[in-house]
Amino acid sequence: MSKKNIIPQDVNNLLKDISQPDFSYRAYDNRNPVEWHNWPLLEKAADYIAWKSKQNVKI
């Protein structure tokens, strides 16, 4: 077996340049500025804060 073949697949992916547009792995991707909208918990928390400040509830 050649040395190249014993490198696990994810290590190969890690060594790729993530700035390449065809990079398929979602590892260490910090390029989306509004990433928290992807999480329902954070969306609900934001709605709750907005509702409270609109109702002027003492928080």
What residue ranges bind another protein (CB under 8 A)?
28, 30, 33-36, 38-39, 41-42, 45-46, 48-49, 52-53, 59
Residue closer to another protein (CB basis): 1 or 41? 41
Residue pointed to by tokens 């002027």? 56
Residue closer to another protein (CB basis): 24 or 30? 30
What region does 48 belong to: left with phi over 0, alpha with psi -120 to 50, or beta? alpha
Residue closer to another protein (CB basis): 12 or 29? 29
CA dist., res. 33 & res. 50, Å (int): 20
